[in-house]
Amino acid sequence: MAALKRTAFAMALAATALTGLPGCRPASTARATTPSTGDALADASELPGRRALAREIYVAGVPLLARYAVVHARNIDRASAEYQGPLNVLHWVMVSAESSRAEPGATVSASLDLRAEPMVLRVPALPAARTYVMQLTDLLASVPAQISSRSSGNQAGDYLVVGPGWQGTVPVGITDVIHADTSLVSVSGWIQQLATDSVHSRQQLQRGFRVQPLSRYLGVAPPPMPTATEWPQPLPADLARQSALFFGQLDALLSFAPMQPGDRDLRQRLQQLEITPSQRNLAHAATRALRDGMADGQREIDQRRVAVEDCQSDSLQGRDGDYSDAVSRACAAQRSLKEG
């Protein structure tokens, strides 16, 4: 089987420029936005450009904040009502025939932390009559892979899930490599329940699906763990849509979405847009332009929600499971945050 294709999220602007952008610092040292020239903010005439860039970055960044909020609630914050269990573990929930699905089965979810090393997702061999799907989604709402009975058949497979920049050797026995653009990746799946299933057989089936670090898969010593993470507390929904704190949290979360090769020129241009002390009289207006840009972006998302079946993912995604544009991604991400 050819290597599973990575579906990178086209957010080069947000993924490269957020360090030091407005909202990541006090308003007095916030940055203006006129990326076409790279000149420092000189007067109020440049505020419309700042507002336009804020809109673009807001729409691009919504998925990252929204998806992180779900990961945080399910697998990081033990006090959360939605907490399912720790990172890098599959968590199962039975789905009855009375649920929204046409067929009973079991749902499974996990959040993979790929900072220290890749993870291996094992899918067992299944009877031809049983259907399943396992979808991986990164923090940018890209879908690096969808493994299912339809696309991959019902044979067993070991799938190596690697984070950005991984340069290791793919070991023998790996069915395919899944490249993710962020070092936190969500797994969600569904496995069909058959009429002949017993409680024991369902438990056996679930034990066949497994997530483990690459080092354990190889039987070698694990690499050093990353420095202890102070997981950012997700912003409340209202602040995430209205406050310049959005950009500060996005800046923090971009540590999970490293800069892609070739983006350095854009970062350097944006770093030239610092508001100097002599321009502090514009800082309040610049921050207002930032919030106005967020409002512009949210209006686009809301319009998409009305136009496309309340942002049902099936209506927004293409055949490969990815989204066609940033507004669709943001729309679906806000829906996923609402659903939990």
Would you state the pLDDT for residue 163? 95
Helical (H) or strand (E) element with 212: strand 210-213
- Residues 310 and 335 sit within 8 Å (Cβ to Cβ): yes
* Domains along the sequence of the chain with CATH: 12-77+231-339 (no CATH), 91-218 (2.60.40.1610)
Helical (H) or strand (E) element with 269: helix 264-271
Tens-digit pLDDT profile for residues 79-95:
999 999 999 999 998 76
Would you state the pLDDT for residue 108? 95
Output phi, psi for 110, to 5 deg: -165, 160
DSSP H helices in 2-46? 12-17
Would you state the pLDDT for residue 1? 46
Would you state the pLDDT for residue 22? 34
In which residue ranges of the chain is pLDDT below 50?
1-40, 42, 100, 262-274
Tens-digit pLDDT profile for residues 263-286:
444 344 334 334 556 556 677 887
Would you state the pLDDT for residue 227? 76
Instruction: Map residue 54 onto helix, strand or coil.
Output: helix
In angstroms, rounded to a whole number, what is the distance separating the alpha carbons of residues 11 and 171?
32
Q: 111: which 2 tokens? A: 């959040």
Helical (H) or strand (E) element with 148: strand 145-148
In angstroms, rounded to a whole number, what is the distance separating the alpha carbons of residues 241 and 253?
16
The alpha-carbon radius of gyration of the chain (Å, integer) is: 22
Would you state the pLDDT for residue 269? 39
Would you state the pLDDT for residue 12? 34
Confidence (pTM): 0.79
For the chain, the straight-line distance linking the first and the last C-alpha, in angstroms and rounded, comes to: 34
- Residues 41 and 279 sit within 8 Å (Cβ to Cβ): yes
